[in-house]
Structures are given as structure tokens and as C-alpha cells.
Amino acid sequence: MSLNMKYELVIYSRATPCPYVRAVKRVLEREDIPYREILIDKDPVAEQRVIAWTGFKSVPTVIVARPGEDVPYQDPAPLTADSPRNVDRGSMITEPGEITFENWLRKHGFIE
């Protein structure tokens, strides 16, 4: 159950299957953490937002947002690598592995 009631998780995803999206959802379901999903292949504004953030159509891109908002509650750290994969950018993480994602959730108070 989420300990963080001040913020919500928003997952930028897509309708087609993706192993990274499945892994993120598996962690969230196991930890009973609610989230909101935005499908970039059905929302051109969201798709452009993810491209601006990551340089790619990278899913899942998970953000910590104020309730009802679709952008991170604070600007994510600049991307210093060639790929956004598995990089903790503060209020955003993209294509994380399960352990990295669990640590990121802990850092933001979504799990103990």
C-alpha cells in the first residue's frame, strides 16, 4: 500500500505489449500501489512529451506527479546518458529494472 498520499504515479505506456511495462506493473501490483496510465500511442500530446523528456518513445516512463497532473512534480534531472533506460532522474524513471524501480519507489515514499 502506498505511503505517499501527496503524490501519484503516472505511467506513460503504450497499448502494445512491452516487457518493461509488464515488469513495472508487476512491482506496482505486488506492492499494491495505485497508478494512472497514459498510452502514448493513443495520445499524441503524451507521445511528444515522452520524446521531449527521453529523446525516444521510451515506455514505461514513470513520473511522480501532483494528483491529477500529467507532468513530474519537479523537473527531472538532465539526461546525461545516451539512453534513458534505468536512469533515476529524480521525479522520473524510464524503462527501469525491477530492483532499480523498487529503490526509486522507496525513495519517493511509495513503499517502505
- Averaged over 68-97, what is the pLDDT? 95
- Averaged over 83-88, what is the pLDDT? 94
Give the pLDDT of residue 81: 85
The structural domain count of the chain equals 1
Give the pLDDT of residue 6: 92
Give a yes or no: residue 47 inside a domain: yes
Give the pLDDT of residue 4: 63
Average pLDDT, the chain: 94
Give a yes or no: residue 78 inside a domain: yes
Give a yes or no: residue 2 inside a domain: no
Give a yes or no: residue 112 inside a domain: no
DSSP the chain: -----S-EEEEEE-SS--HHHHHHHHHHHHTT--EEEEETTT-HHHHHHHHHHHSS--S-EEEEE-TT-SS-SSPPPPP-SS--BTEE-SSEEES--HHHHHHHHHHTTS--
Give a yes or no: residue 31 inside a domain: yes
Give the pLDDT of residue 44: 98
DSSP 36-63: EEEETTT-HHHHHHHHHHHSS--S-EEE
The CATH number covering residue 19 comes to 3.40.30.10
Give the pLDDT of residue 3: 59
Q: Which domain holds residue 32?
A: 8-107
Give a yes or no: residue 3 inside a domain: no
Give a yes or no: residue 33 inside a domain: yes
Instruction: Judge whether 93 and 28 are in contact, CB under 8 Å.
Output: no
